[in-house]
Amino acid sequence: MNISENVTRICERIENTAIKAGRAPSSVKLVAVTKTVDAEAAKAVMDAGVCALGENRVQSFLEKYEVLGSVPQWHIIGHLQTNKVKYITGKVSLIHSVDSVHLAQEISRKAERIGTVQDILLQFNISGEESKSGATPESAQAFIEEVAPLVGVRIKGLMTMAPLGADETETRKVFAGLRMLRDDLEKRYPDLSLSELSMGMSGDFESAICEGATIVRVGSALFR
Ligand SMILES: *Cc1c(COP(=O)(O)O)cnc(C)c1O
């Protein structure tokens, strides 16, 4: 496993895809998903120039946080239970996986208590696949109207996951769906800025960039 070479290769693919899509390469941020590797490998990714690390479980985030501290920008990308929120507020730069009003309220409460505002993304289940978490697009307006007024959170954009094993056409449809949902919400709520679209993983980040992803979450392709 040559992590530094892998980082270089993935960054090249991100840049090339952005350019082909008529976008600035700097408009796409790479979050290295370190959930399957130890802190040492995570450190190697940072040494290769990646400044944002993503974890899907609070426990594995905390273990790496103990080693690497607040030097990396930490992203929580997996389903988050409300009783775990207290362990992460103030330590993570972005929570991608806010999928309920209840969770957003808890994050807001805990952030307020420590005098900070937590950046979040709202996660949507665009594909309708039952096993995926995320709010339904139909509930988006009610969801956002309840979350936007919370003083301890700041909504930065939306996040989704493509269905497992879907082909490229289906995957692109899901990514386009998230972008259109964002565009629609921005029209309805001009006071909100939903500039971030977190979508795309090792197998589909190029499709996601073509559909407007500003954050791609890449794990396995960096660690093989
Ligand atoms: C694991 C994970 C990723 C990274 O997936 P890879 O296929 O390993 O790149 C991205 N997003 C979420 C939410 C994940 O849980």
Residue with tokens 């972005």: 94
- Please say if the pLDDT value at position 132 is more than 80: no
Q: Is 104 in the pocket of ligand 1 (CB under 6 A)?
A: no
pTM over 0.95: yes
Condensed to tens digits (0 to 9), the pLDDT of residues 14-33 reads 999 999 999 999 999 999 99
What mean pLDDT comes out for the span 140-163?
97
133: pLDDT strictly greater than 90: no
Q: How confident is the model at residue 105 (pLDDT cuts 50, 70, 90)?
A: very high
pLDDT of 68 over the 90 cut: yes
- 3-state DSSP call for residue 93? coil
Return the half-sphere exposure (C-beta side, CA atoms, 13 A cut-off) of residue 13: 20
Residue 130 sits at φ, ψ, to 5 deg, of: -65, -35
pLDDT band at 164 (very low <50, low <70, confident <90, very high): confident
Q: What is the mean pLDDT of the chain?
A: 97
The verdict on the CB of residue 219 being under 6 Å from ligand 1 is: yes
* Pocket test residue of 6, 7, 33, 34 for ligand 1, highest count of atoms within 8 A of CB: 33
